[in-house]
Amino acid sequence: MVTVPSGAITLRDDRINKSWSVDIKSFELAKYPVTQWLYHEVMGTNPSSFEGEQNPVETVSWMDAVAFCNALSKRFDLIACYEVLRNVDHIRFHADANGFRLPTEAEWQYACQAGSGKNRYNDLATIAWYKDNALDQPHEVGLKSPNDWGFYDMLGNVWEWCSDIYDETVYGSYRIFRGGGWCDTERSVMSTTRRRSHPSSFRIDDLGFRIARNLATPH
């Protein structure tokens, strides 16, 4: 986990032509997407379509990612961030819990840009696996260059689920994912690209996640 400094970020939704600013509290974010090895270690299964222990886990739903976060929290005797009350439309998020969670999309974009505000943190071929160089498959995490804050594979390889609901009035419980994947063209692999889908039924072979955690509060 890498500690991300506090700051602010501007998000934009081109669909509704709207921009908004979000203040970011310092938090922790995993250096890499969750690997298949780690997912299997915690959950006892590997749902991925392209097997490889150090490849990012993929073909996981948002609910799968949430279940992983809660299971990992339990393993370390931490307070779970997510409580499933009835179904995917009734998830209680405990914002102050000390367990593992998905980053918000504001946190994700802020960490991806590493304070630069840029769509990409270097030449795309040096930082990301995407359609032009991925050879139709994902790759082991950490093989491309990191950004200035030490995060790998924020762009390309696999999209990454975020915690946020996209637009509840239009799309219901649809959740956001970010970053672009191994089969996406260059124009889709940017820090500002936003996608969304159903949290329990949507699983594809270029969508995974990375974990975040609140900073421990000093006693």
**Given a cut of 90, is residue 216 above it in pLDDT?**
no
- pLDDT for 217: 61
The reported pTM is 0.94
- Residues β-bridged to residue 160: 178, 208
Residue 219, pLDDT score: 38
**Domains in the chain, CATH or no CATH each:** 28-212 (3.90.1580.10)
Per-residue model confidence (pLDDT) at position 179: 96
Q: pLDDT tens for residues 47-105?
A: 999 999 999 999 999 999 999 999 999 999 999 999 987 766 678 899 999 999 999 99
**Comparing 172 with 25, which gets the higher pLDDT?**
25
Structural element, H or E, at residue 4: strand 2-4
Tell me the pLDDT tens digit for each residue of 92-103. Answer: 899 999 999 999
* pLDDT surpasses 70 at 206: yes
| Residue % of the chain over a pLDDT of 70 | 97
- pLDDT per residue over 178-196, tens digit each? 999 999 999 999 999 999 9
Sequence-separated (6 or more) residues with CB below 8 Å from residue 64: 47, 203
Q: Find the angle CA(199)-CA(96)-CA(162) to the nearest 5 degrees.
A: 25
User: pLDDT by residue (tens digit) across 103-113?
Assistant: 999 999 999 99
Residue 94 neighbours by CB under 8 Å, 6+ apart: 79, 80, 81, 82, 83
